[in-house]
Structure 1
Amino acid sequence: MTDELLNGPRGRQFCLGVLTATRPEIWTLAARATASPQDQGLAGELAEALRSPASVEAAESADSKALLAGLTEAVDTARYWQQPDEADALLARPAIRLALGPVAQALTDALAAWWGRGFLDRDHQSFVQWTDERKGQPPDRGGEVRKLADWKAAVLADERQAAKRPKNPTANWGGWWSSTPTPSGLVTTTRSLPDLGAVNLLLVEDGLGWKQATVWPLVPRTDCRVYEIDGPAAWSELAARYPMDVSLSKRHDWWRTTGIAGPWLLPDWAAVAADYDGVHLTLWGYLTTAGLALAARPSAAGPSVAVLERTVLAGWNPDETYWLDDVLTPGAGPSDWRSEGSGRWSKQS
């Protein structure tokens, strides 16, 4: 489990984020080492601090506030349209990864104790409507078949158009880097917490700095079918079972973020909808999967199968479910929330 957390760039950032939230000296050391990547002395000093008893103790005693701070750091620093930043490069060094081992083990246990099983919490789902520039509106439920058909048509058109783009993956060209079924208008939900209307208020990749939101509780139908992305294997299998070739349209962005030229696959979300009503990314699935170039193969395939096609989980927020069918009904009344800064949201009366 520890290796899984440290294999992914978001998992490593999570570990560091929890420590920097509780030990300011770690933040200072990490900032200095990041700013001076050639200084091996600084990197060694950071590694020593990461594996110290004080860091392990901080990880073992991490409460929900510290864990959310680490998750927010992991999400806020995610980039899928550029090379890994200096912090990601630093955390990928073998010596730093090794030093984080005991911290990662402690945080794995702390995360499980706080979050529980990690799978879809059907009793506490909420949709977030950002309201900085408009009044909150109920989620646009229904019409999922049309929404997915429009999404698929747009992706295929983009792939055809991408044939005219530079073939060299290193060319200065960008496109739509996400692997989610967006923009489609599908309803998404995340879990609500006692003091937070929805996890999505805090954990949103490539956010636009929203300050106001309306949170709408929703209740999934009891018999709905949900695919759980709980780690790299689940994501790889989904892309292999419902393959959509996006090698041309993703080749520049995903080469920059992974260093691999493809070919690339996405799940065909219109096809996935024939078998599942929703697809849920667990917190653990996010931390261990996002940003990795993974072989797209069915779960039954053995390690000897040649890697011909890969896939990347990108742009999907932790604990987020994309609903592919109209299986949601309104729950309790909506509530308005306002950002207080520094990762804090308050419910408005």
Structure 2
Amino acid sequence: MDTGAEVLLEGPRGRRLCLELAMMLDPTVASAVFYLGYELDPGRGTSVKLLSVSGDDGGAPPVPSLEDLTGALEALDAGSAGADQIDGALVRAVDSSRPWQEPDGEDALAALPEVQAALVPLASRVLDTPSAQWWNQFRPAGQWALHWSPAGNPAPPRHAAAETLSAWAAGARREEAGAARDRPADPHANWTGTWWSFPEGALRTVAQLPLGLDLIEDSFGETSVSVTGVRGAGRTYEVRSGSDWAALCREYPFPVTASRRHDWFRCTGRHGEWVIPDWEKAAEKWDAVHVTALAYLSCANRALDIDAGRSSVMAGWNPDTTIWLTDTAGEDGPPERWYRTATGEPWVREA
């Protein structure tokens, strides 16, 4: 793929962003996605059910076809997309990510070649807007660390980065060994475990506030967060594409086939060997790893080829997120409390 639009649409989250935006712009698209997505949803008829509605003549309204959807997408006025709508579509694309199970109906719909082709003009328009220009920027010096907790609870003390990564590596090796011994090799088996590919416990920072408070994969709908400014320097490995993630995995491979096999098979449909970066070894060369928003949109939730037999998944990351592998980042000012009245409402900084 060559164009920026095609790169964006290569990823499940990028496709979902464009589909969410199209639904905001045209109720005809929203209606078609509602019905067609239901038909493709793995939980159709069980965890996801459709209630029938009678039309004016007492019968069921006509169900839109795939051709109806692609025609509506091609007729969209892509230039009418505003900043708030683009940000909202980005939030929905992240919120609907589920790297531990099958793609939902809307993701499956957006992956159809006909739908991807019809979304190209909208994707091109989005990438040209001022709202998307930060999506491929390098890590800024100043960022924010987020501590999700009830109001008034202070952030726990941070451990030294080397200690954190050593504990992560030891725990991940134990889990992999235990999974290889105890879990079935059949990827179809109903089994789940650790599905993310970042080092638990390491300092994570974001660059966009308040938008970054909503760009959280596997969010629990929290309504209160403590935000602390962080300023860091040092050597940052920039992940701006799938090839960047793959290169990191090739240089520092950490096998996770047994512990990730079932979740990542459901997510990607791929059966084979899996690796993630060995974050402890990467810290010998790099102080931080930054995943741009565009890299997240084009790479998350899909199998990224490492070499002939191995692949990886960028799972549990968030757009424009930095993970610190050394102690080169420090607090930059006192913590602030941000809150919202309910999930989906705007975030407000406490006075």
Counterpart residue number, 1:228: 238
Q: Tell me, yes or no, if structure 1 residue 28 matches structure 2 residue 31.
A: yes
Taking only the aligned residue pairs, the percentage that are identical comes to 34
Instruction: Give the alignment partner of residue 107 of structure 1, picking from 120, 126, 135.
Output: 126
In structure 1, C-alpha distance between the alignment counterparts of 2:96 and 2:146, rounded to whole Å: 21
The answer to whether residue 347 in structure 2 is matched with residue 345 in structure 1 is yes
Show the counterpart of 2:11.
8
Query: Equivalent residue for 1:49?
Result: 72
- The residue number in structure 1 matching 2:179 is 162
1:122 aligned to which of 141, 151, 156: 141
Q: Matched residues in 1 for 2:216 and 2:9: separation? A: 21
Question: SS of the counterpart of 2:340?
Answer: strand
Letter in 1 for 2:348: S
Deviations 1:280-334, CA, capped at 9 Å, x for gaps: 110011001101111114xxxxxxxxx2111111110111111111112222332
Distance 1:111 1:169, change over 3 A: farther
Q: Which amino acid aligns with 1:145?
A: A
Distance 1:253 1:278, change over 3 A: same
Aligned to 2:257: 247
Alpha-carbon distance between aligned partners in 2 of 1:246 and 1:316, rounded to the nearest angstrom: 17
C-alpha separation between the residues in 1 aligned to 2:244 and 2:271?
22
Q: CA deviation at 1:25?
A: 3.8
Residue 214 (1) aligns with residue 226 (2): yes
Specify which of 144, 160, 172 is matched with residue 143 of structure 1. 160
**One-letter code of the match for 1:12?**
R
Q: Give 1:262's match in structure 2, choosing from 266, 272, 277.
A: 272
Distance across 1 between alignment mates of 2:72 and 2:224: 38
Question: C-alpha separation between the residues in 2 aligned to 1:317 and 1:117?
Answer: 14
1:176-191 alignment to 2 at 5 Å? 176-182=194-200, 185-191=201-207
AA aligned to 2:237 is: Y
Question: Which letter does structure 2 place at the counterpart of 1:66?
Answer: Q
Q: What's the Cα RMSD here?
A: 2.0
Q: What secondary structure sits across from 2:65 in the alignment? A: helix
TM-aligned CA deviation for residue 142 of structure 1? 4.5
> TM (normalized to structure 2)?
0.88
Cα shift at 1:186? 1.4
- Shift of the alpha carbon at 1:343? 4.8
Q: CA deviation at 1:98?
A: 0.6
Match of 1:83 in 2: 102
Any idea what the Cα deviations from partners look like across 1:50-97, whole Å, max 9, x if unmatched?
Answer: 11142x2234xx31x222111111111111111111111111111111
> Cα offset for 1:337?
1.0
TM-score by length of 1: 0.88
Q: Which residue of 1 aligns with 2:56?
A: none
> Retained in 2: the 8 A contact 1:139–1:187?
no
Segments of structure 2 that go 5 or more residues without pairing to the other structure are 42-61
Q: Gaps spanning 5+ residues in structure 1: where?
A: 298-306
Residues 259 and 167 from structure 1, CA distance in 2 versus in 1: closer, same or farther, beyond 3 angstroms?
A: same
> Contact 1:220–1:327 (CA<8 Å) still a contact in 2?
yes
Question: In 1, Cα distance between the equivalents of 2:135 and 2:259?
Answer: 38
